[in-house]
Amino acid sequence: MTAILEQTAAAIMAPGKGILAADESTGTIGKRFDMIGVENTESNRRDYRELLFGATETMTAYISGVILFDETLRQSAKDGTPFTEMMGATGSVPGIKVDAGAKPMALCSGETVTAGLDGLDRRLAEYFELGARFAKWRAVVSIGADRPSWGCIKANAQALARYAALCQEANIVPIVEPEILMDGPDSNHDIDRCYEVTTLTLKTVFAELYDAGVQLEGIILKPNMVIGGQNCTTQASVEDVAKKTLKCLKNCVPAAVPGIAFLSGGQSEEDATAHLSAMAAQDNLPWPLTFSYGRALQQAALKAWGGDPAKVEAARAAFTHRARMNSLAATGRWSSDLETGG
């Protein structure tokens, strides 16, 4: 089991490549379609995902893995080619979102715990047969006047560990995603408060992973960057975000972890790229860094497409640009002048 997990993790962390998070639920992608005036139908969802997965050169050069929603894992392109086969042809590893979303947590006002453990072993076995080789589970921690509570952090860390153990038993690499939210109505915390909460959360998560017997060599960590809340009046510089994020990770994440793939978490496309590049440019890091972005990879492509078949190539060009920018960032070679071709 260890060798299989390590091989998959190494493929996901291939140098200069990252993960495309295309695991939006039907409801979430519906909200994004609403913004561009596209009806949320199964065929439109398929067409949009085919737009991305069919960008063959981009997928081959810059994308190591794709996180899928249950529906998407089972879908095929218009010509009948399963999406998993399209990914395999480009060397991208298919993955699957397996959590059932963040649900209100009893006795913890305003906090959530992620559901989806019931029957997960059976679902993982099916997903493996369908071609998935890694999975994702997102745990959400919010910062507010009386948040997060210890109970929220502990419950979500335990769920992440139980999920990770079940994945490894099924020969599926778990992406462990504890996200400290940067947005929301109370998101006026500064970078130091984010550092404090991220540190406590990551230390708790790794303690739970150890207790659950999870092999760290067979996971990928998907953390938030240490950054001020969206409504914070003073935002830290790119250099400070990189410095505090790396300090936090070095303090919390064992070197045995084969890679860290950051979430974008509501950052703008360019901010997410700039922060990643500033971190990846540092020498002697214990683990490789890369991206696991959803909106920060797709937003420009979604707008360029707008549901119009005649604009598929323009949308793929936008996707290619963002993927290339983030590929450069993952190797610490991005600069802002590249955004305009300078």
CA 35, distance to chain mean position in Å, is: 22
Reported in sequence order, the residue ranges of 201-340 that DSSP labels E, i.e. its strands, are 220-221, 260-262, 289-293
- Cβ–Cβ under 8 Å, residues 13 and 290: yes
DSSP secondary-structure letter at 147? B
| Residue in 280, 272, 265, 267 with CA at minimum distance from that of residue 322 | 272
> What are the respective helix, strand and coil percentages of the chain, to the nearest 5?
50, 15, 35
- Amino acid making up residue 337: D
- Cβ–Cβ under 8 Å, residues 63 and 18: yes
- Cβ–Cβ under 8 Å, residues 161 and 205: yes
In angstroms, the CA 60 to CA 318 distance is 16
Task: Tell me, letter by letter, the H, E, C secondary structure of 166-183.
Answer: HHHHCCCEEEEEEEECCC
Q: Which of 17, 97, 136, 222 is catalytic?
A: 222
Report the Cα–Cα distance between both ends of the chain, in Å, rounded. 47
- Cβ–Cβ under 8 Å, residues 179 and 139: yes
Q: Which of 24, 50, 111, 177 is catalytic?
A: 177
Cβ-in-10-Å burial (0-12, 13-18, 19+) of 214 comes to buried
Active site residue 177: yes
| Residue in 240, 159, 143 with CA at minimum distance from that of residue 200 | 143
**Strand, helix or coil for residue 187:** coil
Q: Which residue has the tokens 């938030």?
A: 224
**Strand, helix or coil for residue 143:** coil
Q: What is the CA radius of gyration of the chain?
A: 19
Active site residue 103: no
Pairing outcome for strands 220-221 and 112-114: unpaired
**Catalytic residue ranges:** 177, 222
